[in-house]
Structure 1
Amino acid sequence: MDWATHASHLADSVVRYDSRWHIPLAQVPRHLFVPRWWAGGVKGWELRDGASSTEEWMKAAYSDRTLVTRVGPHHADLAEAGAVVTEGLPTSSPTLPSLVVSMYQHAYVQEDSEVLVTTGSGYGTALMCRRLGDRRVTSIDIDPHLVAQAEQRLDAIKQRPRIAVGDITGALEGTYDRIISTVSVRPVPASWLTALQPGGRLVTTIAGAGLVLTADKTAHGGAVGRIEPSAAGFMRTRQNEDYDYPDAELWRKAEKDDAEEVSICRYPLLYPPDSWEVYSMLALSVPGIDYRQETEGDVRTVLMLHPDGSWARATATEFLGEPIVHQSGPARLWDELTRVRNRLNREGGLPVYGARVTITSDATTTLTRGQWSHTL
């Protein structure tokens, strides 16, 4: 199995040859960390077993894409051959290598940095160990199975960082120069400020918002930084086996029910996750919205659903006419979306990317840009 050639090609596609992350990418066997994964199919999430098809395994493992290894509570490692999962969303995956490296680059890791990272499959931990040596790396995950598997796979390539089961949003053991979380949080946990050395840097994403946040700890115990100009999405932290999902009955209401209010939208139909800037701005003002889109012939429908029971349904014929919007519940979700688009249309941009980040010593996190301000 010539995995090294595949890894070398992956490294070339992700970073420049003179990048300090080229050697880790080229020398870490990613396939060992993803022996099995879930592939989205017509029937649901279908199990793929690398050992049964070496060619498919190498192609998947050394492509710059995310591979889902856990759907709901279902680990690919533990599934029976031929298994299909029909319900649930991804709860763990080895993130696409370019995004992992981007987060590490935002951290400005130094050769003597003591680093805390999140575990997942263990691949990102392996990259960091290859860069710094395993004695400078601590890796943490809330899932005992993931930690056990990652520890075995790291040991197989002679990497033995400190690795532990734990909630990264809770109390942390030790102190670090860098905390890099490839799971999303909201807000920044206060424990990170306690665990960071003065001048240390934290790098994370804001849950549900697609925003990369970097901040450096100040002498006063808080931190200052910014929202990076590039978007990124990671799974959010969880404390249980699975995430809480909107009830199927609520989705049925959004799809079929008569609405309390019907209107016509002035803008073309937009699926917010397709527009990172709009999606991020809306996620700050109304966190927790879930989205779906459906197409039937030339008619497209966008659905929005909030945990408080609010929903919106907007339907339009592709390229023709203005969307008809149906809304019900405590909040008017499509109206909130329209306010964001009004601002974008009026100002030519939205203030989220590049915003200044200020985190107080009690972890109150505020974003500001010009006259705009938002506290998480």
Structure 2
Amino acid sequence: MNWTAHAAHLADTVTHSGSRWVGPVASIPRHEFVPRWWHRGTEGWTLNAGEDDHHRWLDTAYSDRSLITSVGPLHADHAAQNDHPVGLPTSSSTLPSLLVRMFQHARLGALDELLDVGTGSGYGTALACHRLGDLQVTSIDVDPYLVDTARERLEHIKLCPNLVTLDATGELPGAYDRIVATVGVRPVPAGWLAALKPCGRLVTTIGGTSLIVTAEKQQDGSAVGRVEWDRAGFMRTRHGADYPPGPWEILAAAREQDGEDVTTGPYPVVDVEQAWDLASMLDITVPGILYGYAEDAGLRTAWLAHPDGSWARATAVGSDPPTVHQRGSRRLWDTLDEIRAYWLQHGELPVRGASVLITPDGRTRLARGAWRAEL
């Protein structure tokens, strides 16, 4: 297949002519790392196989989009056409522009030793190898199949980084000048700072949010940095083939049941999960919330659920004040409204742009002005 023109177009799309990332993006055959992928449609997750339609394969692989490769424990490579898995995505080939931005946040130097956390399809690892040289790149993932398959696909294009099957939240192998994670963590694992060399730089996201954290290691073993103004959404780290069960029954109850506390909210219904700054601030305040949202003939409904059993639902026509049902020890919609009130009063939310201190044991503290939070 003539993929090189597609890769060159992708490079033009996701970076600029003077960037050091033009060569890596234009040179790596992304389609070889994603021969099969999942697409979410009206009937749920359905399988796409590149071999069935080469034109679609190239158009999809060289588009700037994330391609889901695993849903729950089922990888697309192992699926049949009639499989429709249920669950959360567990692996993907991240959209190339985001990979480039994460590596740019790392401020890579020519001699830097890089730890790539979250091998996934191996495409991001390939970009890093092309930029630095494969002997300077180590990549880790918790899933043995992902690691083994990425190794085979990297070797096929003559790249041989150090690939390790490992739970990223534990002790890490080696010492690194840069750690770039394409998975979300909360808090930053203590092993990451232990593996980061003095003056080394960490780039990661806070699990459950769109917040990118960059921090540099200090002589005392801590790391100091900030929440970038940029945004990213990554899957959380996991410890096995799938994530543990979430409070889906509570989320279902939130959509249907009456609350023990029924009020009228001051602000219109919002699809919280798609309001990235709002969702990030809410998750910093109350971690672990699941979201739902629907529109039907102008009626807008949003619902929230927390693992402790608390839930909330807000319903309104258009931008009218919503009827809010809440139940449990937390008033989730009240917390959301407090955040929205802060936003209106101050013109922004404090979490983005906040300073970051990560202590050697992994405690992560955020601060901006008088606002403080600890993960």
TM-score by length of 2: 0.98
Q: Structure 2: how far apart are the matches of 1:86 and 1:130?
A: 35
Show the counterpart of 2:124. 124
- Secondary structure in structure 2 of the residue aligned to 1:103: helix
Amino acid in the other structure paired with 2:225: G
Q: Which amino acid counterpart does residue 330 of structure 2 have in structure 1?
A: A
Long gaps (5+) in structure 1: none
User: Are the aligned partners of 1:185 and 1:237 in contact in 2 as well (CA < 8 Å)?
Assistant: yes
Segments of 4+ in structure 1 off by > 4 A?
A: none
Partner of 1:264: 264
Matched to 1:364, the amino acid is R
What residue number does 1:175 align with?
A: 175
Which residue number corresponds to residue 369 of structure 2? Answer: 370
In structure 1, the partner of 2:282 is 282
Q: Secondary structure at the match of 1:352?
A: coil
SS state at 1:84 partner? coil
Residue in structure 2 matched with residue 302 of structure 1 by the alignment: 302
Within 5 Å, give how 1:91-240 maps onto structure 2.
91-118=90-117, 119-240=119-240
Does the CA contact (< 8 Å) of 2:71 and 2:85 recur in 1? no
Name the amino acid aligned to 2:359: T
Amino acid at match of 2:129: C
Tell me how far 1:13 sits from its aligned partner: 0.4
Structure-1 residue corresponding to 2:88: 89
| Cα distance in 2 for residues equivalent to 1:116 and 1:10 | 25
Conserved 8 A contact 2:250-2:306: no
The residue aligned with 1:293 is 293
The whole-number CA distance in structure 1 between the counterparts of 2:272 and 2:331 is 15
Residue type at the aligned position of 2:204:
T
What is the CA–CA distance in structure 1 between the aligned matches of 2:52 and 2:155, rounded to whole Å?
Answer: 24
Comparing 248-257 with 92-101, greater Cα deviation is found at: 248-257
Query: 2:331 & 2:245 partners in 1: Cα distance?
Result: 20
Aligned-pair distance for 1:248? 4.2
> Is the Cα contact below 8 Å between 2:7 and 2:26 reproduced in 1?
yes
| Aligned-partner Cα distance in 1 for 2:8–2:85 | 36
Cα deviation code 1:333-369 (max 9, x no counterpart): 0001011011111111111111111112222211111
Q: 1:2 — aligned with what?
A: 2
Q: Compute the displacement of 1:87 (Å).
A: 1.3
Give secondary structure in 2 for the equivalent of 1:37. Answer: strand
8 Å CA contact 1:44–1:84 kept in 2: the answer is no
Report the residue type matching 1:13 in the other structure.
T
Paired with 1:247 and 1:85, the residues of 2 have a C-alpha distance of 22
Q: In the TM superposition, what whole-angstrom CA distance separates every residue of 1:22-43 from its partner, at most 9, and x where no partner exists?
A: 1000000000000000011221
The CA deviation string for residues 89-130 of structure 1, in whole angstroms up to 9 with x for no partner, is: 111000100111110000000110000002010000000000
Give % identity. Answer: 52
Q: CA deviation at 1:246?
A: 3.1
Q: 2: distance between equivalents of 1:180 and 1:120?
A: 13
Counting matched residue pairs gives: 374
Deviation at 1:231, TM superposition (A): 1.3
Return the offset for 1:84.
Answer: 3.0
Task: Report the equivalent of 2:71.
Answer: 71
SS at the partner of 1:325?
A: strand
Give the whole-Å Cα distance in 2 for the aligned partners of 1:252 and 1:134: 47
- The whole-number CA distance in structure 2 between the counterparts of 1:87 and 1:229 is 34
Match of 1:326 in 2: 325
- Secondary structure in 2 matching 1:302: strand
Distance 2:109 2:39 in 1: 37
Deviation at 1:296, TM superposition (A): 1.8
8 Å Cα contact 1:71/1:85 also seen in 2: no
Find the aligned partners of 2:325 and 2:196 in 1 and give their Cα distance.
Answer: 47
Asked whether the 8 Å contact 2:65–2:96 carries over to 1, the reply is yes
Alpha-carbon distance in structure 2 between the residues aligned to 1:84 and 1:264 = 43
> Residue 60 of structure 2: SS of its match in structure 1?
helix
Structure 1: distance between partners of 2:247 and 2:180: 33
* Residue of structure 2 equivalent to 1:241: 241
Question: Does the 8 Å contact 2:38/2:45 carry over to 1?
Answer: yes
What amino acid maps onto 1:91 in structure 2? T
Q: How far off is 1:247 after superposition? A: 4.4
Structure 2: gaps (5+ residues): none
Is the Cα contact below 8 Å between 2:183 and 2:236 reproduced in 1?
yes
| Letter of the 1:47 counterpart | L
TM superposition shift of 1:245: 3.6
- Aligned partners of 2:254 and 2:312 also within 8 Å: yes
Aligned equivalent of 1:54: 54
Q: Structure 1 pair 249/363, CA: closer, same or farther in 2 (3 Å)?
A: closer
